[in-house]
Amino acid sequence: MLVTSSGEALGTIGGGGMERRLINEALEALRVGEPRSLHFAMGIPAREGMISVNSKCGGEVKIFMDVLKPEPRLIIMGSGLIAQGVARYSRDCGFHVTVVDDADTATAENFSGVELVNDAYPESLTRVKIRPSDYVAMLHGETEFELAGLRHAVKARPAFIGLLGSKNKAKEHKRQLKEEGHDPETVDAIRGPIGLEIEAETPEEIAVSVVAELIKVKRG
């Protein structure tokens, strides 16, 4: 049986109270990121460490629950020089990259080998499905563009959201997102400014610092 991060179950191990308990346990395993084993007592006296289930089946059931981690995806919002560098370097480091922007710089020539969503923005965000395991890098610079993308991202609660720019901009964007009613914990987790502090100055150097932070988060 496969349980997704949204709680959807594909397949079954027989239904009933045990399966309902397993779905909750699977969601907790996904949150922690570690496998676990469960031992059920199906209508018989439970020994130490067993979980009692009201069932007339009788006997015991042992379940091993593994965590399947998808390959990391990076969603870049913006298509300027820094975004181009981040797309190039992160792709080389194993990320599946999607770039979202409707500017003239959002071209296949500038973003070879990545998925490009260059329809009218922010309507194009409906085509961008963000998973809990994804990374989002807001690398644009214009306030309304950034807020539209951040609103879309925080609703999905991905593994990482980073924002290019000053600490003050990050502070003001977070304040506005909270005032709009977005989840405070997810908003507070936005990293701003994105990128490790390596005294980077050029777009290429800043791109290196951003990808370095993505790798740091990915490796725990």
Angle at 150 between CA 7 and CA 148, to 5 degrees: 115
pLDDT digits (tens, 9 = 90+) for 79-114: 999 999 999 999 999 999 999 999 999 999 999 999
Tokens encoding 17: 């109270």
pLDDT digits (tens, 9 = 90+) for 124-146: 999 999 988 899 999 999 999 99
The answer to whether residue 208 scores a pLDDT higher than 90 is yes
pLDDT of residue 42: 84
Task: Find, among 58, 56, 54, the residue nearest to 18 by Cα.
Answer: 54
pLDDT digits (tens, 9 = 90+) for 10-62: 999 887 788 888 899 999 998 888 899 999 888 788 888 888 888 777 888 89
The residue type of 143 is T
Q: Which residue has the tokens 């991905």?
A: 158
CATH of domain 73-218: 3.40.50.720
pLDDT of residue 32: 83
Tokens encoding 27: 């969601």
Tokens encoding 128: 């961008």
pLDDT digits (tens, 9 = 90+) for 146-159: 999 999 999 999 99
pLDDT digits (tens, 9 = 90+) for 160-202: 999 999 999 999 999 999 999 999 999 999 999 999 999 999 9
Threshold 0.85, pTM exceeds: no
Q: What does DSSP assign to residue 191?
A: B
For 120, the enclosing helix (H) or strand (E) is none
In the sheet where 135-138 sits, what is the strand order?
115-117, 96-100, 73-77, 135-138, 160-163
> With bands split at pLDDT 50, 70 and 90, how would you rate the model's confidence at 207?
very high
pLDDT digits (tens, 9 = 90+) for 106-118: 999 999 999 999 9
pLDDT of residue 151: 97
Query: Taking the domains of the chain in order of start, what are their residue ranges?
Result: 2-65, 73-218
Characterize 166-201 residue by residue with b for buried, 16 or more Cβ atoms within 10 angstroms of its Cβ, and e for exposed: eeebbeebbeebeeeebeeebbeebbbbbbeeeebe
